[in-house]
């Protein structure tokens, strides 16, 4: 049992100063006044500090990304402490370009390991590649029978994709959707969007040759190229969901992107993620690699602060990192909010909106800016 006293709660809606009782990984009760008889319970007085829901990152390379520049450019697996210092308490792991030296089995194992270490972790089957790599023999079987598998990943509009036809992408979408219906999961298709010449044409083409709802396909990295971003606004207005990558190098600024999307009145269709531990790379006109690196995890918490400091209200900005993400992933009964019955995934922010403390599933992982829980081999 843990009692958080005098917390200024953004749930994401602003609830004001209240007291939170935590037990068995969850928020048991939120009080206006502390009841009598609580003196023996461990407590933390937050003295009016802001608390917000733990961030949900739906695009993380938990087994490492990269490798396009040879074996030595493979990014290592993600350690627990990197998630904690980035304020991420719920994760969706996925593969990228490399499904040869990495596998969906490797991904599933890492997701289970992070869950054991205290972070709520899910994953997507598949990768950039088609036919789609799976564990149980098909996209449908993976999503239905593997508990933490909630959808599938594929790439489009990129020189590293599998040159998908509309029909092939539609079949991927159909498998994922039906699996989601059977299992009660989101059953979505995360579509890595490159900056190629097709824009979102492949997704719209798949919708034209099928009866799938537009929400089946979730384009990500939509802020990486101006034309992709413009078309993604139309996609959201048509009823789809779009995902932006926080602080993506050389791409549209997060503050500017947020304000554009707000003016277009589509923020309820928008999420942000980090692409953490995934590689970024630049190529010359002949397709030769000239630069490669990997993305940090703390881009979303930094992006959140920048957008709020630009004049946007905290309770609105929070949604694209928390409750919006939970809703589109069908996880909104347990994460994404500070509410009774939800997992106690909580971030404490100081007066400068810097991360002060992290609680994940009721366990204090960071306190006073010091990480106190690290991964098994850290």
The domain total for the chain is 2
Residue 277's domain spans which residues? 55-328
pLDDT at residue 336, as a whole number: 98
> What percent of the chain is predicted at pLDDT more than 90?
89
Q: Determine the pLDDT at residue 282.
A: 80
Q: Alpha-carbon distance 315 to 134, whole Å?
A: 39
Q: Which residue has the tokens 């890492």?
A: 110
Residue 31 lies in a domain: yes
Residues forming a β-bridge with 366: 358, 371
Residue 240's pLDDT band (boundaries 50, 70, 90)? very high
pLDDT digits (tens, 9 = 90+) for 292-350: 888 899 999 999 999 999 999 999 999 999 999 999 999 999 999 999 999 999 999 99
What span, in angstroms and rounded, lies between the C-alpha atoms of 169 and 161?
12
Are residues 66 and 47 part of one domain? no
Residues 88 and 99 in one domain: yes
Q: What pLDDT digit, counting tens, does each position of 120-171 carry?
A: 999 999 999 999 999 999 999 999 999 999 999 999 999 999 999 999 999 9
Tell whether 44 and 75 lie within a shared domain. no
Q: Report yes or no on 376 lying in a domain.
A: no
| CATH number (domain holding residue 15) | 2.30.40.10
Model confidence at 36: pLDDT above 90: no
* For the chain, percent of residues with pLDDT exceeding 70: 100
pLDDT value of position 275 = 95
In-domain check, residue 13: yes
Instruction: Give the DSSP letter string of 227-251.
Output: HHHHHHHHHHHTT--EEEETT-TTS
**Residue 358: its pLDDT value, please?**
98
Same structural domain, 174 and 226: yes
**Digit-coded pLDDT (tens) for 346-378:** 999 999 999 999 999 999 999 999 999 999 999
Give residue 364's pLDDT.
Answer: 98
pTM: 0.96
Does residue 272 fall inside a structural domain? yes
User: Same structural domain for residues 102 and 10?
Assistant: no
What is the pLDDT at residue 214? 98
User: Quick one: 33 and 155 in the same domain?
Assistant: no
Three-state secondary structure call for residue 264: coil
Q: Tens of pLDDT along 181-208?
A: 999 999 999 999 999 999 999 999 999 9
- Of 158, 161, 275, 356, the active-site residue reads 275
List, in sequence order, every beta strand (DSSP E) within the chain.
2-10, 14-23, 26-31, 43-45, 50-53, 55-60, 88-93, 120-126, 149-156, 188-193, 217-220, 242-245, 270-273, 279-283, 289-294, 346-349, 355-360, 363-367, 370-371
- Which pLDDT belongs to residue 248? 82
**Mean pLDDT of the 36-62 span:** 94
- Whether 39 has a pLDDT exceeding 90, the answer reads no
Query: What is the per-residue pLDDT across 243-300, written as a single tens digit (0 to 9) for each?
Result: 999 998 778 899 999 999 999 999 999 999 999 998 877 888 888 888 888 889 999 9
179 within some domain: yes
Residue 279 domain-assigned? yes
Q: Is 342 found in the same domain as 297?
A: no
Q: Is 275 labeled as catalytic in the residue annotation?
A: yes
């Amino acid at each position: 049992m843990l009692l958080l006293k005098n917390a200024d709660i953004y749930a994401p809606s602003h609830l004001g100063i209240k007291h939170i009782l935590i037990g068995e990984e969850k928020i048991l009760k939120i009080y206006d006044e502390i009841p009598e008889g609580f003196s023996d319970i461990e407590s933390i007085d937050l003295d009016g500090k802001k608390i917000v829901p733990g961030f949900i990152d739906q695009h993380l390379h938990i087994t490492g990304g990269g490798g396009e520049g040879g074996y030595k450019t493979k990014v290592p697996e993600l350690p627990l402490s990197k998630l904690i210092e980035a304020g991420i308490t719920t994760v969706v792991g996925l593969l990228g370009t490399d499904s040869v030296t990495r596998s969906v089995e490797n991904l599933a194992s890492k997701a289970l390991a992070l869950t054991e270490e205290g972070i709520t972790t899910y994953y997507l089957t598949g990768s950039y590649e088609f036919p789609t790599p799976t564990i149980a023999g098909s996209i449908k079987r993976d999503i239905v029978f593997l508990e933490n598998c909630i959808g599938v990943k594929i790439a489009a509009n990129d020189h590293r994709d599998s040159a998908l036809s509309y029909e092939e992408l539609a079949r991927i979408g159909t498998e994922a959707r039906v699996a989601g219906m059977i299992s009660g999961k989101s059953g979505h298709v995360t579509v890595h969007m490159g900056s190629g010449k097709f824009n979102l044409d492949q997704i719209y083409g798949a919708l034209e040759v099928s009866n799938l709802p537009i929400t089946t396909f979730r384009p990500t990295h939509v802020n990486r190229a101006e034309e992709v971003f413009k078309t993604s606004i139309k996609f959201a207005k048509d009823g789809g969901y779009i995902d932006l990558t926080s602080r993506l190098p050389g791409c549209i600024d997060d503050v500017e992107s947020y304000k554009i999307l707000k003016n277009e009145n589509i923020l309820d269709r928008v999420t942000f993620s980090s692409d953490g531990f995934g590689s970024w790379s630049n190529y010359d006109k002949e397709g030769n690699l000239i630069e490669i690196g990997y993305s940090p995890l703390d881009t979303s918490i930094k992006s959140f602060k920048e957008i709020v400091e630009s004049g946007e209200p905290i309770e609105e900005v929070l949604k694209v990192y928390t409750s919006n993400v939970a809703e589109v992933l069908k996880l909104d009964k347990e994460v994404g909010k500070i509410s009774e019955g939800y997992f106690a995934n909580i971030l404490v922010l100081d007066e400068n909106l810097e991360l002060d403390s992290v609680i994940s599933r009721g366990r204090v992982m960071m306190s006073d800016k010091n990480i106190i829980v690290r991964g098994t081999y850290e």
